[in-house]
A = this chain, B = another copy of it.
């Protein structure tokens, strides 16, 4: 099955559905789109449309077979593939991400972190090695790393992005508070906390 037609907004909901289905799969064998919609306060039609992108339609009255639907969503999300990732910037946020066990459920394996702080180089956090920044290019090429997570301060972010993309990284998860320039074939996904805060803060002043 090809997934190119899935919209980003649908794709963003898939991990939420997957998590929920896994939490109820031992209690029941089937589930309806309406039950999922009700759980999250979403529209029935929206959920049905989302699921149609990965599955056939649910059967009338019985709905979807839960285990089958889980498999289909996992396949769509590439949960069974394995993607090697590195984190650059092993401060508080970098360490928080190193500690998340849940990334492996989505096939993401954070294999190492890198930092400019010489006191961190050679240490291990949560079972993951932290290396000096000088080693980043060699490591990424040797381990075929495809995804880079940037948790550096703003001033170091663009240079980090340039170094990662120069050694074959095709996707950047940007937690730094700036906009990054990257080659056309590299996808940058931004988690700009200050930007989210701007939206929340405006709502509070309305």
A contact residues vs B (CB 8 Å cutoff): 3-4, 6, 8, 11-16, 19-20, 23, 40-42, 77-78, 81, 83, 92-93, 95-96, 99-100, 102-103, 105-108, 146-147, 154, 170-171, 173, 177-179, 181, 187, 189, 191-206
Query: B14, B99, B102, B197: which contacts A106 (Cβ < 8 A)?
Result: B197
Question: A205, B41: Cβ atoms under 8 Å?
Answer: no
Determine the chain B residues whose CB is within 8 A of the CB of A146 once the complex forms: 204
The quantity of this chain's copies bound in the complex is 2
Known contacts: A173-B200, A199-B189, A202-B11. The answer to whether A19 contacts B194 by CB under 8 A is yes
Question: A19, B147: Cβ atoms under 8 Å?
Answer: no
Determine the chain B residues whose CB is within 8 A of the CB of A102 once the complex forms: 177, 193-194
Query: B12, B170, B205: which contacts A81 (Cβ < 8 A)?
Result: B205
Question: A179, B16: Cβ atoms under 8 Å?
Answer: yes
Question: B201, A77: Cβ atoms under 8 Å?
Answer: yes
Question: A173, B194: Cβ atoms under 8 Å?
Answer: no
Q: List 15 A-B contacts (CB under 8 A).
A: A6-B202, A12-B195, A12-B199, A15-B177, A15-B195, A19-B178, A92-B96, A93-B100, A102-B177, A103-B197, A106-B198, A146-B204, A170-B204, A171-B200, A191-B191
Question: A200, B187: Cβ atoms under 8 Å?
Answer: yes
Query: Which of A42, A107, A171, A191 counts the most B-chain CB atoms under 10 A from its CB?
Result: A171
Question: B195, A173: Cβ atoms under 8 Å?
Answer: no
Q: How far is the CB of A2 from chain B (nearest CB, A)?
A: 10
